Amino acid sequence: MSLPIRNVAIIAHVDHGKTTLVDALLKQAGTFREGEDIPDCVMDSNDLERERGITILSKNTAVRYQDTLINIVDTPGHADFGGEVERVLGMVDGCLLIVDANEGPMPQTRFVLKKALEKGLRPIVFVNKIDRPQATPHIAIDKVLDLFLELGADDDQCDFPYLFGSGLSGFAKATLEEDSEDMRPLFEALLKLVPPPAGDPDKPLQIQVTTLDYSDYLGRIVIGKIHNGTIQAGQQAALMREDGSIVKAKVSKLLGFEGLRRIELETAAAGNLVAIAGFADANIGETITDPNDPQALPLIKVDEPTLSMN
Ligand code: GDP
């Protein structure tokens, strides 16, 4: 059950096509797999499409390409969510920067990109909507490079890999001249260019609480990355609070991501992103850890206000 993993954040200014692109990846990931039922993705009304869009952006999404699980996490684009952006970027080893081929980088692109560069991530740039007649992909790429330079990206970051494509038409390609009918080049780029997550499954458990969710059935759900160790459904674990105190609780449910759904897991190891029920009063930034060898992860600083970025 332990698949190779890639964790990638997705960055884009509003309307540059994040939802549509992730939807294309979801739909196509199924078609590249053999002998498996894929959920019916056909949308038959605008309402359904809207609802699906909200779901895609508000939840972690995971696609499987060949044998690799690619966890895709959304990053809020607004400066009000500065702290959340940092936490999300702490879960990933790469990011996909989507830029509208006509508009080029916009303020939200800039805000999140700055954070990603500061984290040392090497973004993959996706120049989107090239199906539109007015698209100017080369100008968009030049503007992206200008932005990287302005934001103080290092040489490696400035030598960013890029692809062109259209989430709406469902294709990606490395050059404008090339023919492509699907997202395969983007999947391949994610596998090749996003490093696999670090972390040691044999070390004491450490999961940083990054997002909170709630279900009527399970109560508070903690979402985060397993930085080290291995977690089992039903095990006792310790929650290490900001003040250093420890609360013990049972992992009543362990969930992983698959498409837009969460699937129940028996066990999950370092590198993966999981959702956990059982920690009724966990807070963002705290660490779920081994009760016999509790070790906190460093709290992620929240450097608000970030108003200057707007
Ligand atoms: P988000 O705000 O970044 O999630 O953007 P959406 O995915 O909701 O897309 C915003 C608008 O751009 C919608 O009307 C989409 O249909 C349209 N759009 C997204 N991707 C493409 C594309 O590749 N080509 C064209 N022509 N339109 C697109």
Mean pLDDT over the full length of the chain: 87
pLDDT of 309 reads 40
In contact, 163 and 178? CB cutoff 8 Å: no
Is 200 annotated to bind a ligand? Reply is no
**Residues ≥6 apart with Cβ < 8 Å to 281:** 220, 247
Q: For residues 256-268, give the mean pLDDT.
A: 91
pLDDT tens digits along 207-233: 999 989 898 889 999 999 999 999 999
How far lies 75's CA from each of 18, 143, 255, in Å?
Answer: 10, 21, 21
Considering only 63-77, 105-119, 135-149, 288-302, which range has the smallest mean pLDDT?
A: 288-302
**In this model, does residue 81 exceed pLDDT 70?**
no
Considering only 198-202, 273-277, 292-296, which range has the smallest mean pLDDT?
A: 292-296
- Give the pLDDT band (50/70/90) at residue 33: low
pLDDT of 295 reads 87
In the reported structure, the alpha carbon of residue 167 is separated from the centroid of ligand 1 by a whole-number distance in angstroms of 7
In the reported structure, the alpha carbon of residue 100 is separated from the centroid of ligand 1 by a whole-number distance in angstroms of 9
Is 68 annotated to bind a ligand? Reply is no
SS3 26: helix
In the reported structure, the alpha carbon of residue 310 is separated from the centroid of ligand 1 by a whole-number distance in angstroms of 23
pLDDT of 304 reads 45
pLDDT tens digits along 90-144: 999 999 999 999 999 998 889 899 999 999 999 999 999 999 999 999 999 999 9
Number of neighbours of residue 64 by Cβ within 10 angstroms: 17
How far lies 210's CA from each of 6, 63, 73, in Å?
Answer: 17, 20, 11
DSSP assignment, residue 182? S
Alpha carbon 128 to chain centroid distance?
A: 18
Beta-sheet strand order (sheet of 287-289): 246-250, 236-240, 287-289, 206-215, 219-228, 273-277, 253-258, 261-264
ipTM above 0.85, yes or no: yes
pLDDT of 47 reads 57
pLDDT of 40 reads 45
Please give the structure tokens belonging to residue 61: 């999404």
